[in-house]
Amino acid sequence: MTIHFGTDGWRAVMADTFTFENLRLLAQGIADAASADDWGGDGNEVDPRLMVVGFDTRFLSDRFATEVARVLAANGFTVKLTHNDAPTPAVSYAVRHSRAAGGVMITASHNAPRYNGVKLKAAYGGSALPEQCRRVELYLADNEARARGPNLMDYDKAVSAGLIQRFNPIPAYAEHLRTLIDFDRIARNPQRLVVDSMYGSGRGVIKSLLQGSGCEVSEIRGEMNPGFGGIHPEPIARYLGPTAGAIAAGQGALALVTDGDADRIGAMDGRGQFVDPHKIMALSLKYLVEQRGWRGAVVKTVSTTRMVNRLAEWYGLECLETPVGFNHIADLMLAREVLIGGEESGGISIRGHIPEGDGVLMGLLLLEVVAASDAPLEELVADLLTDVGPAHYARADLRLAHPISKSEMTKRLTESAPAAIGGVRVARVESLDGVKYILEDDSWLLIRPSGTEPVLRVYAEAREERLVKELLGFGQSVARG
């Protein structure tokens, strides 16, 4: 069996590669790696024999989590196992709050219902470091070569021995969020809103946190539905028909949407218009600087809007770009003072929080922004676009006839960079992650191959929709070539 961790864990199709047998083998590899002296803490004292395990709402996720806990317990770990499904950021925070050596979250995040997965967490409450993931893979391969099966302990015996302890991660997580979100400010101007949990493990969390705030909260898609209604639980416009319907029915003046494990955020304004993570991150940055007086570095992936760059320049803040993947943002959040960090897919975090995207936190922060401004979300977005826009954004995934290496593609596209696209001069070419053409009007085109399939990902942002189409068209011509 070959299991490789991607940028945020391992995901596979259930009953194909994601099976109980394979998961137990992986859990043994995690136990072996975490037992090593050089597993690593977070700079603070941690309990090297304590692990946290949580799970989302997917089919059998609770059973999968129990199997991981049984393997860890059989290897001498004390395991804090969540009572119920919980958001990934709540489980990640529990790792840091409990001073555990690490954690395991059973989730496939925003992937289709047939998938499940494992997210491995480090002691600091974010995704495990690449070297930690590689160490797990090495132990897994070594165990397989030696035909060494997983240690396994009976669940009831593990509970009786105190090696598996069920717990609720939400109270400590909620207390922490109250240090980051000004609930009093929200209560002074309570809003009427829709919370769409997309049947994911964020269900009920935002609504419960807003109890007593005066906000009128209607939650949709908050019941248990492991099939996610037949869609990907991803907070993007194409999956938010029910959200727009709830707003049209008068259930709210805005909507907050979280993905399958609540580490991503999307939103919708009172007119039923999708508010993407680019705008959410930009509005949050604007608010944190202008209203809270925060300073610090701004971190974004190369595929995230340049409105953030323009705001950072406006405020005199350093703006750092990273390759795609929140793990790159997390590295900087651990190393220096970062005001906000985020990516185009909706994973965003702020200073004082764990180095991980958090849809619950950012949804509440967006609500605070609206409450503090005393203006509807659509007006705030319009003002933002007047200040640092306009910004039209699109992404396309294009099939290739055959895979292409990133280095080969980068070399080819850098050497053959066009002088202009859509009649606008190409000002410079960057190759941090794929190839990015930045035009003289600050529009841009990013072309990067997938690392797992013959797909070319093309991202474009421009001040006119016409130019976005021209940029994507150029990307399509590259794919055909």
CA 126 from centre of chain: 11
Question: Is 5 within the bounds of a domain?
Answer: no
For residue 397, pLDDT over 60 is answered with yes
Q: Last residue of a domain, which of 388, 407, 431?
A: 388
This prediction's pTM: 0.95
171, 189, 212: which is the final residue of a domain?
171
Distances 407 to 7, 125, 219, 396 between C-alpha atoms, Å: 19, 33, 46, 21
Average pLDDT over residues 169-189: 98
At residue 41, the pLDDT reads 66
Q: How many domains does the chain have?
A: 3
Residues 396 and 424 in one domain: yes
Answer yes or no: is 319 within a domain.
yes
Residue 78 forms part of a structural domain: yes
Parent domain of 304: 178-388
Residue 144 has pLDDT above 80, yes or no: yes
Instruction: Find the Cα–Cα–Cα–Cα dihedral 175, 180, 185, 187, rounded to 10°.
Output: -30
CB 277 within 8 A of CB 264: yes
> Of 140, 171, 202, which one is at a domain's C-terminal end?
171
CATH number of the domain to which 468 belongs:
3.30.310.50
Q: Quick one: tokens of 170?
A: 């939400």
Say if 19 falls within a structural domain.
yes
- Is the pLDDT at 406 greater than 90? The verdict is no
Please indicate, yes or no, whether residues 332 and 242 belong to a single structural domain of this protein: yes
Residue 364 placed within a domain = yes
- Convert the pLDDT of each residue in 232-253 to its tens digit: 999 999 999 999 999 999 999 9
- Number of Cα atoms under 13 Å in the Cβ half of residue 13: 2
Higher per-residue pLDDT: 450 or 328: 328
Q: Using DSSP bridges, classify how beta strands 392-399 and 455-462 pair: parallel, antiparallel or unpaired.
A: antiparallel
252 and 323 within one domain: yes
Are residues 371 and 466 both part of a single domain?
A: no
Domain match, 138 and 211 both: no
Query: Within this chain, do residues 292 and 231 fall inside the same structural domain, yes or no?
Result: yes
Q: Are residues 260 and 349 in the same domain?
A: yes
Range 117-134 average pLDDT = 94
Helices (H) and strands (E) in the chain, counts: 16, 21
Q: How would residue 167 be classed by pLDDT, with cut points 50, 70 and 90?
A: very high
Whether 2 is covered by a domain: the verdict is no
Residue 455, pLDDT above cutoff 70? yes
Same domain, 384 and 397: no
CA distance linking residue 431 with residue 443, whole number of Å: 16
Residue 357 and residue 430 share a domain: no
Give tens-digit pLDDT for 413-428: 898 899 999 999 999 9
279 and 370 in a single domain? The answer is yes
Ordered strands of the 78-82 beta sheet: 10-13, 115-122, 100-106, 47-55, 78-82, 164-167
Residue 61 has phi, psi (to 5 degrees) of -60, -40
